[in-house]
Copies of this chain bind each other. A is one copy, B any other.
Amino acid sequence: MRIAIDAMGGDHAPGEIIAGALQGREVLDDGDEIVLIGDEAVIGDQLTALKAPADTFRILSAPEVIGMNESPIEAIRRKPKSSIAVMAHAASHRQVDAVLSAGNTGACVAACQIRMRTLEGVARPGIAVVLPTYGGPVTICDVGANIACKPVHLYQYAIMAGVYAREMFGIESPRIGMMNIGAEDAKGTDLIKKTRMLIKNDSTLNFVGYLEGHDLFEGKCDVVICEGFVGNVILKLSEGMANMVFKALKAELMSRNKLLALWFKSVAKSIFKKYDYHEYGGALLLGVNGTAVICHGSSKARTVKNAIAACKKFYDKKINDQIVHAIETSSVTNNGQ
């Protein structure tokens, strides 16, 4: 397979991204290829700095860069030669089989959606992120691609994320829950209640009902469906909350016993590693016609390597074919609703 990597996107681009691409070769097969996209001179310099031969990767020239804070749609229009735009263009012309970026998430989603289009039958792509929890990995969809959800969108997220969790984590019949403000049937918005009926009526889905915020960490489900707005808050809140707890712990330990506080550092590190979503590399943009992985802006080389592994698995398992089949045979189609 051929994976295009946006060498210019992310807080630590291009250094860490290119270092990650180098490491990523370990998880690929012989015939596989990584294509770096970005400013040729900058990429060349980085490869030299990393002591990699200049011809290690094929390079697709993209002299422009979309900043992390630029308005997505506008940036895509104004910068056709940006790494994200060139990347999506390459995918849409089947010059590559997968794309990967740690750059401006909104721009990346927009470019993939516009250029690669959606899979047959899919109404809206959704970003699926894997949150490592004490009860195992939980896939959350959507975490920010779609903040104007309709019931059919959420329903299709259940289908797509279900296929994803099954194939990526080997969970035979993933338990799917929907984020809500209470467990009772009468709770929630119209969107939630209508989606519930759609999911409940689909016997192929293992629906475990409504979830409340705390349920996410208690091993009650493998997949959580929610609007992009809610999912985005969940993702970033979890991140911030974990950081705060460890900060508070450090302060408390330092005030009690400095030696033990130092020892505790290694405990914290080991926990962080276990529950670090960088381990999963990136988020899959489910529903686009191709393989698109969106990495956290803070991605380092290890994250990129893991994202390449996720990309490869997603592609090799033909998850998109399975999604198309599942959507095709589902009870409500995009047009039918």
Does A249 have its Cβ within 8 Å of any Cβ on chain B?
yes
Say yes or no: B144 contacts A71, CB within 8 Å.
no
Give the residue name and chain of the B residue nearest to A179 (CB): B233
A 51-73 binary contact with B (CB < 8 Å = 1; else 0): 00000000000000000010100
| Number of identical monomers bound together in the oligomeric complex | 2
Please, how many angstroms separate the alpha-carbon atoms of A185 and B81 in the complex? 25
Would A234 and B248 be within 8 Å (CB), given that A189-B148, A189-B229 are in contact? Answer: no
Asked if residues B214 and A237 are in contact (CB atoms below 8 Å), the reply is: yes
Given A249-B271, A252-B267, A267-B253, A213 contacting B234 (CB threshold 8 A):
yes
Among A187, A215, A244: residue with most chain B CB under 10 A: A244
- Kindly list chain B residues whose C-beta atoms are within 8 Å of the C-beta of A183: 69
A281 located at the interface, meaning its Cβ lies under 8 Å from any Cβ of chain B in the complex: no
Contacts of A230 in B (CB 8 A): 229-230, 233
The reply to whether B217 and A244 form a contact with Cβ atoms under 8 Å apart is: yes
User: Is residue A171 contacting chain B, with contact meaning CB distance below 8 A?
Assistant: no
- B241 adjacent to A238 (CB under 8 Å): yes
Q: Are B252 and A237 in contact (CB under 8 A)?
A: no
Interface residue A162 (Cβ < 8 Å from any Cβ of B): no
User: Could you say which residues of chain B place their CB within 8 Å of the CB of A233?
Assistant: 179, 181, 212-213, 230, 233-234
Taking a contact as CB atoms under 8 Å apart, the answer to whether B184 and A213 are in contact is no
A214 touches B189 (CB 8 A): no
Interface assignment of A151: CB less than 8 Å from any CB of chain B: no
Residues of A181-213 whose CB lies within 8 A of B: 181-184, 186-189, 212-213
A92 at the interface (CB under 8 A from B): no
B267–A240 touching, CB < 8 Å: no
Contact residues in B for A271 (Cβ distance below 8 Å) = 245, 248-249, 252
Q: How far is the CB of A184 from chain B (nearest CB, A)?
A: 6
- Once bound together, how far apart are the Cα atoms of A242 and B243, in whole Å? 11
Given A71-B184, A181-B144, A189-B147, the answer on whether A214 and B239 have CB atoms closer than 8 Å is yes
Q: Which residues of B contact A214 (CB under 8 A)?
A: 236-237, 239-240, 243
- A216-B238 in contact given A229-B230, A233-B233 (Cβ < 8 Å): no
Which residue of chain B has the shortest Cβ distance to A226 in the bound complex? B233
Complex contact B241–A217 (CB within 8 A)? yes
Residue of B nearest to A217 (CB): B244
- Do the beta carbons of B240 and A213 come within 8 Å of each other? yes
Q: How far is B230's CA from A232's CA once the two chains are assembled, in angstroms?
A: 10
Using A134-B248, A214-B243 as known contacts, list a sample of 10 further A-B pairs with CB atoms less than 8 Å apart, ordered by residue number in A.
Answer: A71-B184, A71-B186, A181-B233, A213-B237, A218-B244, A229-B230, A237-B237, A249-B271, A256-B267, A260-B260
